[in-house]
Structure 1
C-alpha cells in the first residue's frame, strides 16, 4: 500500500495557518506527499516552505463586520464568510486520482466539507478510503456520577433530618 497523500485544509488568520503548516512540514519531512489548502492571501507565507499550496477565496471585508467579535453572533459571521472557500474542498479532493489514499487534516470549520469528501469518495476496500484526521470526537470518560450499587444501597438506607423531621434518604 502506498503512503497516504495528506491534504491539510486551513481557514482563518495566520494564527490558524501556522500550526497546520508546521504539521504539514513535519509530514513532508517524514516522506509523505502533502498539499495545503488555505486562504490565498496566505500563499506568501507558505511559498518559502516549498509545500504544494492551493489558495482558497477569502473575503477580507468580514474583518470589518460589526458582529465579528460579538460573543454570540461572531461565529455565525465567520461561518458564513468561510463557506465559499470551504465549498471548493470537495471539488479539489474529487479531482485527485481515485486510487490515491487520502488523509484529510482540516480546520474545525472545514469538518462538514471533510465529511462530504469522505462520503463522495469511491470506497473500494482500504486503498480508496479517506482517513479524516481529527474529525472523530475523542472517547468520552465514564460519567463522573455513576452510582456504585453497594454505595447506593447503603446511602438509601441512611436517615437524615430535614426541617426537624427524620426522613429516609432516597
Structure 2
C-alpha cells in the first residue's frame, strides 16, 4: 500500500507518512499535532463548562433531597434524573480535557467561581424549578457561545458541546413544563 492516498473530495494526496510521523509524537496527549484548535483556550472553556455541570448537579441533588410532599415525588424524580445527567456531562467534559492534554479542574474551592450557573438554596418547589430553569438557560447560552467560538477548529469538542447542549435544552423544557 502506498504511503499517499487520495482524498476523494479534494483530489489532493494525503501524506500518510507525515501523519504517521506526527502521531508518533506522544507529548500532545491523545489528539495528534494536526489539531487545529487553540488547546489552552478550549481547555479553559471546558473547565468552565465542567464547573457549571458540577454546580448544576449539586443544585439538582440538593433540590431532590430537600423537596418535600407526596405531590412533589414526580418533580423530585426529575431533579434526580437531571442531576445524574449533569454528572455524566461533567465526566464527558473531563475526558475531553484529558484528551487535549489538559487537567480537569475539580477543585471544590473554585468551582462556584468558575461556574456560569449559580448554586441555589431555595426551599419552595416553585423556586427550585425556577432556579433550575434559569441555570439551564445560562448553560445553553454558554454552550452556544463556546460552540461558536470553537467553530470548525475542533470538531470533536464542538460535537460534544452540541450533544450536551441538546440535553440542556430538554432539561430547560422539562423545567418550563413543571413551572407552568
TM-score w.r.t. structure 1 length? 0.35
Query: Which structure has the larger Rg?
Result: 1
TM-score w.r.t. structure 2 length? 0.33
Higher strand share: 1
Higher helix share: 2
